[in-house]
Chain A
Amino acid sequence: MGVEIKVDGLTKSFGKQLIWRDVTLSIPAGQVSVMLGPSGTGKSVFLKTLIGLIKPDEGSIMIEGTDIASCSERDLYEIRKLFGVLFQDGAMFGSMNLYDNVAFPLREHTKKSESEIRSIVMEKMDLVGLIGAEDKLPGEISGGMRKRAGLARALVLDPEILLIDEPDSGLDPVRTSFINQLFIDLNAQIDATFLIVTHDINSTRTVPDNIGLLYHKHLAMFGPREMLLSSEEPVVRQFLNAQTVGPIGMSEEKDADELAAEKDLDMPPLPPIPLQLEPSSGIPRRHQPAPGQWCRENGVTPPPGSFLSANAGLAPGA
């Protein structure tokens, strides 16, 4: 289970405005990856390109031997059945109640009887904690509930790849922790490939196996979590530790004056790398790397205090 996504040389611009150039990465099968980036760097565009909603100008996206960027419309609709996508606002169909929303893909794509559909829908609703809200319309519930309902709908067809757009926007810290735990538990259960787009640093430090950072119209870095969390690269370091000192400014990049003004400021030392979030069942995920494994294999000394606790280096209260 789980499918690898190989992205090669992806470039996209809207008119004269370049979004990103030459993005090359491969998202490992069955693992949880996070795509980070300052606001407005085209993270959502990247996600939409992966499912073929936006055609890239150049490059390819290979999934199970099919190139999403150049395949026919018919193949695209076929390959999309492998995907589950959670949109930022849940994108629930406003005219249907939650039950019908979640049942929609089953009714359209399978010949299951209503009683089978009912049992699947109720199972997924239970998974996201929405039992009792089936008859509500999307307009009547909170943003967090819409998001969880969207997740239930994304899960009903047992996807091989789950794309998640900003799961934590508009959620309180407790719900964010719950939804993060849910992703890890789901990954342990269904072994699908997860790609989460976010800019929540605490989630990024504890949830994924891999992290990518989009910055200044290109992919600054993509790799195992420990590689980025122990990286000395200024952009990665600034972003992953939410600092003002570094190359990223309020509007995209800092100019030469601003950089000169802070050249004497030292970046604070790297905080320790926390332990990864474990599935609540206690059974490790199949593709989960051991803590410190990457650092040992690559001869990198992790910052002091790493891998000792699950909340090392996190902002307090989160």
Chain B
Amino acid sequence: MSSLTASRALAPIGVAGKLFAFALDVGRALFRRPFQLREFIQQAWFIASVTIVPTALVAIPFGAVIALQVGGLIKQFGAQSFTGSASVLAVIQQAAPIGTALLIAGAGGSAIAADLGARKIREELDAMMVLGIDPIQRLVVPRVLACMLVAFFLNGMVSVVGVAGGYVFNVILQDGTPGAYIASFTALAQLPDLWIGLIKALVFGLIAAIVASYKGMNASGGPKGVGDAVNESVVITFLLLFVANFVLSMIYLQVVPPKGG
């Protein structure tokens, strides 16, 4: 009885271990030739096509909310001239990677999990292995790289759209001075803020693709199994992304001193 309880309690650790082992397999297959360029381009195009429009639509209110919130607070301190700087910092360091992550996991990851899951239950993956082709190298590696690439560019897009949205709302709704908003960009924000945003986006793309592929390739039990796999992959990805974001932010704040501090 005690061993049964123990095995139940330890089951999540087993899943985490398998996920990590899967990630290592992907890392190894990354360097195996031939590289599947065609699949990579197709997947990058596909993921971009399902994420670009929703991401842009999410980015505008995201930037606006931050601008309104920060602008309102900063006004109370009497430091309106720093509104631009504060909202740029918040958008580039936090909002852009998180917004990207939500869309990559929600739109891109779920599509990957559903695609691989359907192939798994139709025995296509088995057939592929039997034909002497490693599905990790043939299908997963291009998807992981495509996801990272698209996350990288989406992050840039969210940054631009978010900052522009913040500008519009600050200047039009809060009567901010356009010149002060733009001039204060560099007062608090610095170049490493941009780097950490981009690094975060790459890491989030990696995590989302790996979790989605793992869940998809381990789907079982017919069409319902595919639905479950998609659901689990989105939930697990969200959890992991927020943890990863927390850890990366902490490290960054420790390592890079804030400007003008």
Contacts and interface: CB of A to CB of B under 8 A. Distances in A.
The B interface, classified by DSSP as helix, strand, loop or mixed, is: helix
Contacts of A150: 127
B35 to A, nearest CB: 13
A104 B131 contact: yes
A87 interface: yes
B223 to A, nearest CB: 14
Interface in A86-125: 87-89, 91-94, 104-105, 108-109
Nearest to B126: A53
Interface residues of A, number: 24
Interface in B108-143: 118-119, 122-124, 126-134, 138
Interface of A: 48, 51, 53, 73, 77-78, 80-81, 83, 85, 87-89, 91-94, 104-105, 108-109, 150, 153, 157
Given A94-B118, A94-B119, A109 B132 contact: yes
Given A77-B132, A80-B131, A48 B124 contact: no
Contacts of A53: 126, 129-130
Nearest to A93: B124
B132 A85 contact: no
Given A73-B134, A81-B132, A83-B130, 20 more contacts: A53-B129, A53-B130, A77-B132, A80-B130, A80-B132, A85-B127, A87-B123, A87-B126, A88-B123, A91-B124, A91-B126, A92-B127, A93-B119, A93-B127, A94-B118, A104-B131, A105-B131, A108-B131, A109-B132, A157-B131
Contacts of B130: 51, 53, 80, 83, 85
A51 B132 CA distance: 10
A48 B132 contact: no
A216 to B, nearest CB: 26
A314 B132 CA distance: 39
B127 A91 contact: yes
Interface of B: 118-119, 122-124, 126-134, 138
B127 A87 contact: yes
Nearest to B34: A108
B132 A94 contact: no
A138 to B, nearest CB: 9
Instruction: Give the one of A87, A109, A157 with max B CB within 10 A.
Output: A87
8 contacts: A51-B130, A77-B129, A77-B132, A77-B134, A78-B132, A105-B132, A150-B127, A153-B131
A109 B130 CA distance: 12
B169 to A, nearest CB: 44
Contact of A89 (B118, B123, B129, B138): B123
B118 A48 contact: no
A109 B127 CA distance: 15
A250 B128 CA distance: 36
A5 B42 CA distance: 40
Contacts of A77: 129, 132-134
Contacts of A91: 122-124, 126-127
B124 A108 contact: no
A89 B134 contact: no
Instruction: Give the one of B126, B131, B132 with max A CB within 10 A.
Output: B131
Instruction: Give the one of A85, A88, A91 with max B CB within 10 A.
Output: A91
Nearest to A101: B127
A89 B122 CA distance: 8
Contacts of B128: 93
Contacts of A108: 131-133, 138
Contacts of B129: 53, 77, 80
A89 B126 CA distance: 12
A108 B129 CA distance: 12
